[in-house]
DNA sequence: CTGATTGCAAATGCTTTGCACGCCA
DNA sequence: TGGCGTGCAAAGCATTTGCAATCAG
């Protein structure tokens, strides 16, 4: 876990006149312990392993705080629960590719894509702030060979796309 | 409203061994009466004006049908309710730009963007199926002149971004 | 006829909130 | 000490579902 995260949160908390608490520390530790995406509920489970007292409500409240502080980002993976991505600090403009076959998520960055998007935005008369790209795709290797070697390359492990409820 | 939509739905219904009902006809008519994005609830309101009997449950069930038939597409505008976009029949690969200042949604297409995305996807070892791009941006003209002339260009009227609940 | 469809109300599931108590600054 | 933060349980809200009646083919 990036050692700067706790500090960043502390800065944010100080600037906003909020308070540092053990619950918030625990939640931050849990949230950034892996680079996997997670839901509020999954985070709650992780938090509970570190501290069996912290409540679900506090997890939700702290998630809001972390998003506001831009330490965490909500992403749309086509699920019903909000999913949080802790990797935007390392890769500020990464995007997501979802494998339709196995549901894994591959993160990727592409500066050309970023630039093209910025051009389009400006051409439309706007000032770019943020762009979100989600690509859904089939695994070509899976189709040809029956397995998904590409997925080894992803930093995200075990993350599966859930069925719509 | 595109005259082919009702037919397309009929085809879909026939293929799947389902049945055509007056409710479904009404809902389709309401859904494609404008090219605005809408939520289930907004659609329900429109439907009620055409037929005060149709239930909310049927609207939800029919929305699922229309998405499955690929006549309607769910899009992510950062709201809490699912938003539906009826414009993918006319513009199969369009994307969305959200004005942070006034909340309006501008639809745009760009073949370069599509191609670049396809390249990236293939380079990662996948076969492109669908891509979704959401750009959030500030209105440059608003900043300079105090008003938003660009927005006149959009096909979508009156659509505002709602606050998170 | 027969199974698909509907309306209603109840249920679901995620997320938010009111409130009283506790704790940080 | 003044409020911000927390836990708990109770809301809230969008969406789904069970069921009996109804309707399409």
pLDDT at A6 over 70: yes
- Specify the pTM: 0.88
> Which H, E and C letters describe B102-151, residue by residue?
CCCEEEECCHHHHHHHHHHHHHCCEEEEEEEEEEEEEEHHHHHHCCCHHH
CATH number of B95-157: 3.30.1490.190
- Written as six digits, the tokens of B8 are 């397309």
Residues 99..138 of B with a Cβ closer than 8 Å to A: which?
99-100, 106, 108, 110, 112-113, 116-117, 120-122, 124-138
- Domain map of chain B by residue range? 3-85, 95-157
- Taking only the tens place, the pLDDT of each residue in A84-95 is 999 999 999 999
Cα–Cα distance between B64 and B58 in angstroms, integer? 10
pLDDT band at A82 (very low <50, low <70, confident <90, very high): very high
- Taking only the tens place, the pLDDT of each residue in A124-155 is 999 999 999 999 999 887 777 666 655 544 43
The answer to whether B163 CB sits below 7 Å from nucleic acid chain C is no
- Taking only the tens place, the pLDDT of each residue in B42-83 is 999 999 999 999 999 999 999 999 999 999 999 999 888 999
Query: Is A150 close to B125, i.e. CB distance below 8 A?
Result: yes
8 Å CB contact between B56 and B80: no
- Could you tell me if A143 lies within 8 Å of chain B, comparing CB atoms? yes
- Written as six digits, the tokens of B130 are 């669908």
Cα–Cα distance between B117 and B113 in angstroms, integer? 6
Closest-CA distance, A112 to chain B, in angstroms, reads: 8
Nucleotide nearest to B61 (CA to C1'): D16
The answer to whether A67 CB sits below 7 Å from nucleic acid chain C is no
8 Å CB contact between B60 and B7: no
Q: Note whether A3-85 and A95-157 share their fold.
A: no
* Interface probe, candidates B137, B147, B165, chain A, greatest A C-beta count within 10 A: B137
CA separation, residue A77 to residues A42, A140, B112 (Å): 15, 21, 24
Q: Domain A3-85: which CATH class?
A: mainly alpha
Burial grade of B25 (CB within 10 A; 0-12, 13-18, 19 or more) = middle
pLDDT band at B156 (very low <50, low <70, confident <90, very high): very low
Between A and B, how many CB-CB pairs are < 8 A?
119
pLDDT of residue A162: 33
The answer to whether B161 CB sits below 7 Å from nucleic acid chain C is no
pLDDT band at B149 (very low <50, low <70, confident <90, very high): low
């Amino acid at each position: 876990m990036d050692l700067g995260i706790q500090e960043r949160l502390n800065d944010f908390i100080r600037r906003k006149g909020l308070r540092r608490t053990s619950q918030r520390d625990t939640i931050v530790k849990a949230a950034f312990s892996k680079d996997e995406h997670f839901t509020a509920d999954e985070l709650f489970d992780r938090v509970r392993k570190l501290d069996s007292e912290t409540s679900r409500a506090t997890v939700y409240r702290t998630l809001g705080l972390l998003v506001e502080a831009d330490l965490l980002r909500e992403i749309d993976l086509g699920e019903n629960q909000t999913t949080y991505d802790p990797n935007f600090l390392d890769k500020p403009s990464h995007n997501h590719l979802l494998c339709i076959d196995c549901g894994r998520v591959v993160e990727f960055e592409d500066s050309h894509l970023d630039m093209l998007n910025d051009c389009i935005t400006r051409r439309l008369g706007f000032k770019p702030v943020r762009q979100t790209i989600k690509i859904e795709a089939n695994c070509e290797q899976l189709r040809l060979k029956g397995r998904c070697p590409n997925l080894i390359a992803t930093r995200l492990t075990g993350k599966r796309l859930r069925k719509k409820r």
